[in-house]
Amino acid sequence: MNIVTTRRISQIFFFIIFIWFCFVTSPGDQWWQLRGWPVNWIIELDPLVGLATLLSTRAVYAGLLWGLATIVLTIVIGRFFCGWLCPFGAIHQFVGFVANRKKKTAAKIKLNAYHPGQVSKYWILVFLLTISAMELVVDLIRLPGNNQWLFALLVLAALALTVRHTLGQTRLNVKKTGLYFIGFIAIWLLLSVLFKANRAPAASLQIGLLDPISLVYRSINLVVLPLMDQTSLRLSPAPRLYDGTWLIGAVFLAAVLLNLLKPRFYCRFICPAGALFGVLSRFALWRIGKISDDCSDCHACEKHCEGGCSPTTQIRSNECVLCMNCMDECRHGLMTYQNAPSATGEILELDLSRRQFLVSAVSGAAVIPVVRLSGNLAGNWNPALVRPPGALAEQEFLSRCIKCGQCMRICPTNVIHPAGLEGGLEGLWTPVLNFRIGTSGCQFNCIACGHLCPTAAIRPLSLDERKGLGEFADKGPITIGTAFIDRGRCLPWAMDRPCIVCQENCPVSPKAITTRSVFNTINTGSKLMVERADAFYVEIQATGLQVDQYATGDYYCRAVSSADVRPRRIISNWERGLKVAGELAFEPPPAPGSQIEILVKLQQPYVDPNRCIGCGVCEHECPVPGKRAIRVTADNETRAREHALLLRRP
C-alpha cells in the first residue's frame, strides 16, 4: 500500500478514536456513554502535557506516562505525532487541502515553502515552558541558601568545566574568564539572598492555552458537541450550555480558518507541541531526504509539503511532519525515508537565535509574577471562583490544569464551566461552578470530574472522602464553598411569603439549612375590627378581604388586646369574616369592637456553615428568578485553609 494512503488511514483512525472518546464522555448507562473507555488517551499521548506538568509539579501523573512512548518514538522516527496521529493536525490538513485544492501547482509550491516565521512556534514553546518551570528556577536560585553541599558541588563542577574549556582555547584569557566565573557565582549568591525569604508562589501552567490536544478537546467538548445538542442528534438529555464559550469557539474557528491563508498554519507557526517535536526529532534515526543530488529542482516535492520543510533544497527535519507527500510527488523517486542525511543536505539547527530564546524565556518568566501582582492568590482571591470538589489548592491547581474541558464535559449536571477572568488571566478556561446553568447543583453522590481529570488538578476522590464517611469520618465532607442567604431578596425574610425551597433541597443530613418560624403581621390596609365572634368564627366590621385569600394554611389570626395572643390558623375566609381551625378555639371570643390581626407563619431559612458543603443545589433551586436569594461563594472551601470561615476546635 502507498505510504501516503497508510498515513491517511492512520490519521482517520486516530481522528475517529478522538471523536469517539469525546462522544462517550457523556454520563449515562447506554453503551455509547461512559463505559470505561480510555477517553484521556490522546491527551496522555501528548508529551507536551506530560513535560509541562513535570516541570510545574515535578511528577508525571498516572497516564501521562504515555507521553514517554511518544517522545521515544519521536526521537527514533521524527514528528509522526503531527502527521499521523494529531486530530487537530488532521483537521488542519483536511481544511488546508479543501481550501487550496484548486490552486495551480506553482501557487501550491509557494504556499508550502518554508517561511522564516515558522520559528514563532519555538518562541511560544519557550514562553510556555518557562512559565511551567518557574518554580524550578526559583528553587535553583535559592539553592545556596537551602542546600550548601549541592551548591558547592555545582560550583566545583562548573569550575572544572570552565578550566577545561579555558585550557582548550588557544588564546588564554584567565583573568577575564575568572572574572566572569566569580561574577556569575556572586550574582547567584546575591539572588539567593534576595529570594531567600520570598515565598511567592511561582508554579503555573499555561500550556493548555495553545497545546493542540487541549485546544481541540476543549473546542469539541464545549463548542461542537453543545451545538450538536441543539439539533436532534443531541448527546445529553438536557442540551449543554457553557458560559463564555464564544472565545473558545472564536479561537478554534480562527485556528481552522488560518488554513485558508496557509495549509497547516497552526502547526507551522503556533503549535507548541509541534515545536517540542521539532526539538526532539533532531536526532531522529530515520528522516525524509533525497537519495541522490541528481535533482531537476522541479519543487514538485514541495507541492503538498505539510510541514513547509523545503525538501527540495536543504530539508529542515525539525519542520517535517512526516506527511510523506514528497515521496509520492517526486517523479524521479529521489525522496525517501532513510537514516542517511539528505543528499542535498539538511538543516538540523532551529532557526531560533539566542536573542529570541532569551526574549521568550524572560517574557515567560515575567508574565505569571506580573499577573499575580493582582493578589489573586493572596488576599484578593475571588470568592466567586467555586472549584469542583477535589480541586487542589489554587496555586497547585493552576500548576496542573490544562483547560481541556474534560471535567466540564463529564459533569452530569452541567454546572462546571470554563472560567472567564474569575480566576484572573491565568485561570482562563479553568473549571468554575455556575449554579444558574445546568440541571442541578454539584451532586453529593458524584465524583466524576476528579476521576476524569488527566492531570489531577482535580484530585480523584472516593465517595467516602467526598461525603466524609468511613475512614474520612473525622475529616467531614469535602466543602467547595458556603451558601449565604441574601435576606433582602429572600421571600420569607423580605417579602412575607413562605418558601424554603432551599431547605427542602439541601442534600446533606442533617440539613445545612434550618428554619426558624416567625409570625409576621400582614398589612391589611385598614385595621380589622371585630363585629361579632364566637370560638371559631370572626366577623369584621368592614368588607375588604378576598375570598379564601388567607385560606392557604399559612395564615393565622389573633386578637390584639386579648390576654391570649396565640395565633389561630385560618382555614377559610370570606369578604368580612374568617374561620379558624378546630385545634385552637378563641376562649373567650374576641369582643365586638376589638382589633384582630392577620399573621403569616414564615419559616425563615438559616445556613449552618458547619454543615454546608457548597454544592449549590439551593442556589440552583431558589425560586427568586434573577439574582438568587441564596448564593454559594468559595468561603470555607476545604482546599484552602486560609479560606476557612469557622473557628474549628479539636
- Kindly list the residues in this chain that would bind other proteins in the complex (CB under 8 A): 27-29, 237-239, 412-413, 438-440, 443-446, 491, 497-501, 503-511, 515, 551-554, 569, 571, 581-583, 603, 617, 621-623, 625
In the numeric block, which cell numbers belong to residue 367? 508574565
Q: Fill in the DSSP letter of residue 589.
A: P
Q: Fill in the DSSP letter of residue 488.
A: T
CB of 306 to other proteins, least distance (A): 42
Nearer Cβ to other proteins (157/469): 469
Nearer Cβ to other proteins (121/511): 511
3-state secondary structure at position 602: strand
Nearer Cβ to other proteins (277/555): 555
> What b/e readout covers 277-307, taking b as 16+ CB neighbours within 10 angstroms?
bbebbeebeebbbbeeeebeeebbbbbbbbb
Task: Report the C-alpha gap between 543 and 526 in whole angstroms.
Answer: 11
Torsion sign across C-alpha atoms 269, 273, 276, 282:
negative
Nearer Cβ to other proteins (304/568): 568
CB of 261 to other proteins, least distance (A): 34
CB of 345 to other proteins, least distance (A): 54
Nearer Cβ to other proteins (305/512): 512
Task: Report the C-alpha gap between 344 and 531 in whole angstroms.
Answer: 114
CB of 412 to other proteins, least distance (A): 5
CB of 244 to other proteins, least distance (A): 22
Nearer Cβ to other proteins (28/341): 28
CB of 444 to other proteins, least distance (A): 7
Angle of the 120-146 helix axis to the 272-280 helix axis, nearest 10: 80
CB of 600 to other proteins, least distance (A): 10
DSSP labels for 352-399? --HHHHHHHHHHHHHHHHHHGGG-TTTTT--TT--PPTTBPPHHHHHT
Nearer Cβ to other proteins (105/439): 439
CB of 453 to other proteins, least distance (A): 19
CB of 508 to other proteins, least distance (A): 6
CB of 583 to other proteins, least distance (A): 5
Nearer Cβ to other proteins (341/507): 507
Residue 311 in contact with residue 335, Cβ under 8 Å?
Answer: yes
Nearer Cβ to other proteins (316/417): 417
Half-sphere exposure of 510 (CA within 13 A, CB side): 6
CB of 604 to other proteins, least distance (A): 12
3-state secondary structure at position 416: strand
DSSP labels for 122-179? HHHHHHHHHHHHHHHHHHHHHHHHH-HHHHHHHHHHHHHHHHHHHHH-SS--HHHHHH
Backbone angles phi and psi of 315, in degrees to 5: -70, 140
In the numeric block, which cell numbers belong to residue 147? 542546600
Nearer Cβ to other proteins (510/650): 510
Torsion sign across C-alpha atoms 360, 361, 364, 366:
negative
Residue 377 in contact with residue 371, Cβ under 8 Å?
Answer: no
Nearer Cβ to other proteins (192/515): 515
Task: Report the C-alpha gap between 37 and 167 in whole angstroms.
Answer: 60
Number of H helices, E strands in the chain: 24, 15
- Cβ neighbors of 468 (< 8 A, separation 6 or more) are 475, 476, 477, 478
